[in-house]
Amino acid sequence: MKWFAGSSILLNFALLVAWWLPGRGEVNDADTRRASQSTFPRTLIVTNVVDVVTTNMIAVPVFQWAMIESERYEEYMANLRRLDCPEWLVKEIVLADLTRFYEARKTALEHDRPSSYWMTSREQRQVQLKYDQAAGDLEQEEHDVMLQLTGSYRNGDGDEVHSDPSILALAFAGLDYDQGRSVLSETMFRHKQSETFTDLRNNLLTPADLAELGARYQEMKNACAVLASPASFDEFWLRLQLVVGSLRDGFDLRGMRLSGFQLRNLVRIRSEIIDPFRAEFVDREQRHNDEPDRLNRMVEEQLGLDLGADVAADYARARTPAFREIYDFATDQQLPRQTAVDVFDVRQTAINEVDNLTSNPDLDDTRKIELRQLIRLETEKALRSKLGPTVFETYRQQHGQWLDQFDGRDPFAGLNLPSMEAPQ
């Protein structure tokens, strides 16, 4: 039995060796089928799956940005489009790249400017003019290249405009985001070019220079009209006139009652006579002190012809600082607009009476003082009836110092003001 058992063990071992050695290192279909029926079928199957997956991963090409980059922007943009990149994104990618490129060139231009520490004023001026010319040429090149490649222009200064966002929103409300950025960038670029033009002439502009600046201003308007479309640009331009006028020329509509039709025509009439935006481009330093008053009288006359005497009177009243002060006071006191108008009219009537009285050669000084005091009393009575006793006292304390001038008293008497005498 022991011999039989040992022979059985040896026989089984021999059969195992005979089964293993002939197929070692080769896997054929029969082997695969046997393996699938063996006690450990997963070993060979998992190995085959890994082999297949590894082969497929190696076959896939690895994407690299260099595959679409090119030194020629036209080819670079074509490669982006072949990848189904949206057109707006193609434009923004190229504009951002061009912005970085030209910012580097501007920095290099600034770095290469020679130090003017030991230069005379004349030499410093020559260096500055040369730099301004080169910087202007570089800005022009950036502008033209961006437009040629993308149809749009982006000005860095346009993104850094510091103003009340609500005021800017009023002007740009009729334009979409892309139109707004394009119009703002174009405007900033043209304004910078006009400044360079003026600086290169030492701010001494001849009539021919002013005509040239006027032509450039019109070119800027035409370019912006194309960027925004003529219909939306007309609305934008009226809004811009209102915004720039309120910031620069005291264009104030406080207390005016206007329909939409009247407002648009008022702004249009004013812009034809007083264009504050044009002044920023053409004659920033050319105005005389009496020019605004003369031009505003022309606006009033035209308003009277086109929109009626009431609108003209409202316009004249609204641009008067005294009325704006009264209107703000009435608003704070929750009084109607008409109350502010009535108080202002009482004030103006009283001042005119005092002026006529003072210039009357037929009255002596004593009689003039008596009549001035009488005018003051009648004026206070009229104001009290318009405002009410309590509000009148508040107005008298805050804004009524002008009443003290009627009877000859110093309106600032009793205030502890610093002496204007020269020190001993």
pLDDT digits (tens, 9 = 90+) for 361-376: 888 888 888 888 899 9
- The Cβ of residue 297 has, within 10 Å, a number of other Cβ atoms equal to 12
Quote the Cα angle for 282-286-292, to 5°.
100
Q: For the ranges 22-36, 143-157, 179-193, which has the lowest average pLDDT?
A: 22-36
According to DSSP, residue 422 is labeled: P
Tokens in use for 46? 């998992």
Helix (H, G, I), strand (E, B) or coil at 163: coil
CA distances from 214 to 122, 217, 279 (A): 30, 5, 10
CA pair distance 175, 158, nearest whole angstrom: 15
pLDDT in tens, 342-358: 999 999 999 999 888 88
CB–CB of 217/282 below 8 Å?
yes
Query: How far is 151 from 147, CA to CA, in rounded Å?
Result: 4
SS (H, E, C) 192-213: HHHHHHHHCCCCCCCHHHHHHH
Number of other CB atoms surrounding residue 130 within 10 Å: 13
Question: Looking at 192-201, 275-284, 409-418, which range is the least confident one?
Answer: 409-418
Range with lowest mean pLDDT among 130-139, 199-208, 242-251: 242-251
Confidence of residue 63 (pLDDT cuts 50, 70, 90): low
Q: Does pTM surpass 0.75?
A: no
Q: How many C-beta atoms surround the C-beta of residue 284 within 10 A? A: 14
Which of 124 and 37 is assigned the larger pLDDT? 124
pLDDT band, very low/low/confident/very high, at 251 (cuts 50, 70, 90): confident
C-alpha dihedral (41, 47, 48, 49), degrees to nearest 10: 100
Answer yes or no: are the C-beta atoms of 241 and 247 closer than 8 Å.
Answer: no
- Which of 145-154, 197-206, 297-306, 415-424 is least confident? 415-424
Query: CA dist 231 to 166, 170, 226, 237, 241, Å?
Result: 23, 17, 10, 10, 16
pLDDT surpassing 80 at residue 107 = yes
d(CA 258, CA 315): 10
| Closest of 228, 255, 205, 72 to residue 149, by C-alpha | 72
Residue 317, pLDDT > 70, answer yes
pLDDT grade for 407, boundaries at 50, 70 and 90: low
* pLDDT, tens only, 125-175: 888 888 989 999 999 999 999 999 998 888 866 555 545 556 667 778 778
* Residue 220 contacts residue 187 (beta carbons within 8 Å): yes
Q: Provide the pLDDT for residue 390.
A: 93
Question: Phi/psi of residue 61, each to 5°?
Answer: -70, 145
